[in-house]
Amino acid sequence: MTRHPYKAFATFLIAFLALGSDASPEPRPNVVFITIDDLNDWVGPLGGHPQSITPNFDRLASRGVTFRNAHCSIPICSASRSAFMTGLLPEKTGVFSNGNSFFDIDPDIQTIPEHLADQGYQTHGAGKLFHGRREDFVSYFHSYGPGTGNQGGPFTREELDTLKQNPSHRVDRGPGQLKALLPLNGMPDDRRDGVSRNNSFDWGPVDVPASEMPDGEIARWAARTLSQTSEKPFLVAAGFYRPHQPLFAPKEYFEKFDPETIQLPEILPDDLEDLPFYAQRLARYALTAGTHQTVLEHGQWEEAVLAYLACVTFIDDQLGLILDALEQSPAARNTWIVLLSDHGYHLGEKEHWGKFTPWSESTRVPLIIVPPSGYDSQEWARGRSVDTPVSLIDLYPTLVELCGIAPPGHDLDGQSLAPLLKTDYDPSSSDRYAITSNGRGTHAVVKGKYRYIRYFDGSEELYDRIADPHEFHNLSPEPQFAELKAELRGLLPSDPAVKRFVRYQDLKIIFFADPSVSPVVFEIAPGTGSGGGIGETKDVSKKHSALLDKIAAYLDQRPDLPTHLTVTDSDL
């Protein structure tokens, strides 16, 4: 099973020696591991939207611990999953966006399912657990269920092709089969750029039963898997696609909401005015979704919010199928449940749609951990919320501790959450904080009641999350917070490979510590094809070789300059 048999033997030997010759170990617990894509705080336990309908999230929260202040390591699919599945921050994996490949990571780094398998677990997976094609990750598990990568289900990638949908594409699969006119929301794709791609910024009901949606297939696979007996401890991991866009769900879930009474997210019309230049560009850039302007022009804001709520309720039902199956299984008495989202999602807050921002809508995620029903309720907390800042990077060491297994062969960046699951946990004794990266050189840290953001060009934001939960008021310019900002800045990770992060006009430039490594340049301006400097998808350094020489000479003459800075024409 494992890609690293020598490491398997080493971890087995460590575990065996730790037991002692006369020890009789308790049966190792099972794990049900549920990931949900693009789910923000619009679920009952987090109270992010007053109209959310999530009885199974509520049911799960009543049985374990809800982390109300949990954050992803980086708010984009591939990078986030690479981080929590390896227990390594993006600075260690090198995966900062969907443009980076999981397979660039050192092959000696074991993922959670690989390490559990080496520790004697039977591992089963389905759906979107990693970012990529199903066939790429099947070998990470003993068995793999449905997971075709069809996030657009029930429609195919060919049917969602932006060029076919310019302006529309009719789907007719024959008598009694699916019929639709795409895009369902009637909006153009802000990210088309004249090339064929999957139009995911769409929403609406579809006349398809839940069981035939990809997530319905995944839930039913998980339920069947849990109904089977296993002589070994097991991992059952299910990765749901919704509410990742396109926001398609069976029409019955749309009918649960009244479109005339949908409540929109609270925003301020001038919310971006106190933000730095790059933050404003980031807010309005259509990198992972469409633009707020397009949504408003087509009168689709209420419809999009309704669709998101409908998709969340649809996933809640699928969650219920898994919980029912586990409860009916004898394994329930010895099975941990871990539920999380890989990152959040904006629906118009800060004029942004999608993710990949350093604000709470992108970084904050649902995280619920439930102890086995057979465990002592006097020791393990149930029905409790924890406001301590935690990170998804903490999941790997948490599972190592909860399962009583040896750690993997590589160091883990997180801290186990096991102490926070105990009834005697005292939050006043914790000094935890959570860090989220947003591309190379841009980070946010949440500690206590503050969120601090430093962008790659040295610009900053600071928010009092208690007094200003929507992060409307940037406190960074106020002089009384200088000392606090310095303290929080000191918590941010550094990248030893980088010498300088520089913004020059609409360029993001990275100079490396190794002089033999050429600098890279990304264009920030929308429409340049480089991911707006945000996704870092296209290096345009060859276009700017003369400019790079001038900036490099300027930096060499001033070695005392900070690592993150903006360079202007007057400097050169």
pLDDT of residue 507: 93
- Please give the pLDDT value at position 195: 73
0.75 cut: is pTM over it? yes
Q: Is the peptide bond before 477 cis (omega within 30 degrees of 0)?
A: no
Please report the pLDDT score of residue 14 as a whole number: 43
In a domain, 476, yes or no: yes
Same domain? 48 vs 116 = yes
In terms of domains, do 208 and 141 share one?
yes
| 212 and 287 share one domain | yes
313 in the same domain as 267? yes
Find the catalytic residue in 4, 49, 71, 77: 77
Secondary structure string (H, E, C) spanning 84-97: HHHCCCHHHHCCCC
Identify whether 562 is preceded by a cis peptide bond (ω within 30 of 0): no
Q: What is the pLDDT of residue 63?
A: 97
**Which residues span the domain enclosing 443?**
434-489
Residue 428, domain member (yes or no): no
Q: Is the pLDDT of residue 528 over 90?
A: no
* Whether 108 and 234 share a structural domain: yes
What's the number of domains the chain is made of? 4
Per-residue confidence (pLDDT) for residue 135, from 0 to 100: 66
- For residue 249, the 8-state DSSP code is E
- Sign of the Cα torsion 262, 266, 268, 272 reads negative
Tokens describing residue 122: 């039977």
The amino acid present at 490, given as its one-letter code, is G
Q: Name the 3-class secondary structure at 19.
A: helix
Average pLDDT rounded to a whole number, residues 195-209: 91
Tell me the mean pLDDT in the region 496-521: 94
311 in catalytic set: no
- Structure-token match 């000392």, residue found: 483
- Distance of alpha carbon 58 from alpha carbon 366, whole angstroms: 12
Task: Provide the pLDDT for residue 49.
Answer: 97
395 and 363 in a single domain? The answer is yes
pLDDT at 18: 43
| Boundary-marking domain end, from 381, 398, 422 | 422
- Please indicate, yes or no, whether residues 136 and 258 belong to a single structural domain of this protein: yes
- What number of H helices and E strands is found in the chain? 15, 25
Residue 427: inside a domain: no
Q: Which of 470, 489, 508 is the last residue of a domain?
A: 489
* Residue 177 maps to a domain: yes
CB 364 within 8 A of CB 384: no
So what's the pLDDT on residue 137?
A: 73
Q: How do residues 64-102 score in pLDDT, each as one tens digit?
A: 999 999 999 999 998 999 999 999 999 888 888 776 666
Asked if residue 444 belongs to a domain, the reply is yes
Q: Which residues contact 122 (CB under 8 A, 6 or more apart)?
A: 142, 230, 232, 233, 234, 235
152-168 mean pLDDT: 90
pLDDT tens track for 307-361: 999 999 999 999 999 999 999 998 999 999 999 999 999 999 999 999 999 999 9
**What is d(CA 308, CA 549) in angstroms, rounded to the nearest whole number?**
48
Q: Are 283 and 453 in contact (CB under 8 A)?
A: no
**Do 211 and 262 sit in the same domain of this protein?**
yes
138 and 183: one domain?
A: no
Residue type, 120: G
pLDDT(7) > 50: no
Nearest Cα to Cα of residue 180 among 189, 171, 188: 171
131, 169, 244, 352: the catalytic one is 131
pLDDT of residue 107: 82
Q: Each residue of 401-442: pLDDT tens digit? A: 999 999 999 999 999 999 999 999 999 889 999 999 998 999
Residues 237 and 306 in one domain: yes
Dist CA 336 CA 43 (whole Å): 21
What does the alpha-carbon distance between residue 444 and residue 258 come to, in Å, rounded to a whole number?
37
Domain presence at residue 297: yes
Residue 530 placed within a domain: yes
Domain boundary among 398, 422, 446: 422
Are the C-beta atoms of residues 541 and 477 closer than 8 Å to each other?
A: no
Residue 429 lies in a domain: no
Rounded-to-integer distance, Cα 475 and Cα 463, Å: 6
Segment 191-195 mean pLDDT:
73
pLDDT greater than 90 at residue 121: yes
Count of C-beta atoms within a 10 Å radius of residue 96:
22
Residues 463 and 556 in one domain: no
pLDDT for the residue 197: 79
Instruction: Please give the Cα distance from 446 to 517 (Å, whole number).
Output: 33
The pLDDT mean for the chain works out to: 91
User: Treating both helix axes as pointing N-terminal to C-terminal, what angle do 77-86 and 395-403 enclose, rounded to 10 degrees?
Assistant: 30
Q: How far is CA 423 from CA 368, 382, 473, 503, 511, in A?
A: 15, 8, 36, 48, 49
- For 241-267, what is each residue's pLDDT tens digit? 999 999 999 999 999 999 999 999 999
CA 327 to chain centre: 28
Q: Are residues 258 and 406 in the same domain?
A: yes
The order of strands in the sheet holding 390-391 is 364-365, 70-71, 390-391
Place of tokens 């959450």: 417
CATH of the domain at 62: 3.40.720.10
Which pLDDT tens digit goes with each residue over 130-146? 877 666 778 889 999 98
What H or E segment, with its residue span, contains residue 143? strand 143-144
Q: Active-site residue 71, yes or no?
A: no
CA distances from 530 to 48, 444, 541 (A): 33, 23, 11
Supply the angle between the helices 301-327 and 214-227 in degrees, to the nearest 10: 10
pLDDT of residue 531: 55
d(CA 201, CA 136): 26
pLDDT at 524: 82
